[in-house]
């Protein structure tokens, strides 16, 4: 059994779903229109630069989950899927997932975006296995805290290794598709690393190491 792993944001999607969720909350009037927008944009820039403080980021972005009821969050997420996600699912990304599915590969998304946002997206894409940041839930409500290791940079490797150990599986004939230099630690440990519409830093590394480079954009 081969494992086909996909990053989500700017890989299978043409946007960053975490940033898009922040924009959606701003449109709903659910967060401070000045402070939250500044933080949302700054964290995206930090991520792209490779300087993101993941814990400071999560402290801000998980707070709205704690401040709103599960019912409100579910209603918002349904709107978010229709307005922000569905138009940005890349057709060639869906085709790539389908090719691995036809091969009989085990499909997985590994993302630094939290499970509240990405769980329904993975389901929409027909990907059964998801490693994502895990927001803490107590008595049916989000607390605004995170549980376990955030799946960011080396954290993606740690979380994947724990998943493999639990399933008694290996990375033999494994694939990983990503756009971001933040995912180099995970790209380095799979047999088939693939840079997808890579950022400049990842493109440089991929070219130097002979990794495959593809585009899923029209």
Q: Please identify every residue annotated as catalytic.
A: 7, 9
Burial class (CB in 10 A: 0-12, 13-18, 19+), 213: middle
Per-residue CA distances from 135 to 56, 82, 178 (Å): 14, 23, 23
Measured distance CA(116)–CA(159) in Å, rounded: 17
Any long-range contacts for 165-172 (C-beta under 8 Å, 24+ apart)?
169/1, 169/3, 171/3, 172/2
**Cα 115 to the chain's mean position, in Å?**
9
69: left (phi over 0), alpha (psi -120 to 50) or beta: beta
* 124 touches 84 (CB < 8 A): no
Q: What gap in Å lies between CA 105 and CA 92, rounded to an integer?
A: 18
Of 16, 28, 88, 15, the closest CA to residue 64 belongs to 28
């Amino acid at each position: 059994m081969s494992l086909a792993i996909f990053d989500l944001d700017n890989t299978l999607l043409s946007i960053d779903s975490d940033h898009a969720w922040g924009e959606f909350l701003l449109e709903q009037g659910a967060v401070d229109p000045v402070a939250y927008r500044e933080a949302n944009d700054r964290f995206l820039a930090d991520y792209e630069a490779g300087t993101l403080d993941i814990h400071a980021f999560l402290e801000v972005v998980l707070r709205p989950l704690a401040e709103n009821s599960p019912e409100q969050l579910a209603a918002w997420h349904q709107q978010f899927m229709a307005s922000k996600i569905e138009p940005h699912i890349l057709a060639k990304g869906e085709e790539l997932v389908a090719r691995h599915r036809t091969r009989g590969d085990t499909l997985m998304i590994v993302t630094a975006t939290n499970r509240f946002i990405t769980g329904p997206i993975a389901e929409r894409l027909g990907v059964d296995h998801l490693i994502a940041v895990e927001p803490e839930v107590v008595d049916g409500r989000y607390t605004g805290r995170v549980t376990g290791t955030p799946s960011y940079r080396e954290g993606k490797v740690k979380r994947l290794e724990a998943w493999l150990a639990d399933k008694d599986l290996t990375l033999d004939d494994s694939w990983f598709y990503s756009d971001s230099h933040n995912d180099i630690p995970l790209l380095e440990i799979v047999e088939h690393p693939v840079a997808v519409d890579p950022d400049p830093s990842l493109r440089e590394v991929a070219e130097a190491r002979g990794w495959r480079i593809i585009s899923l954009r029209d």
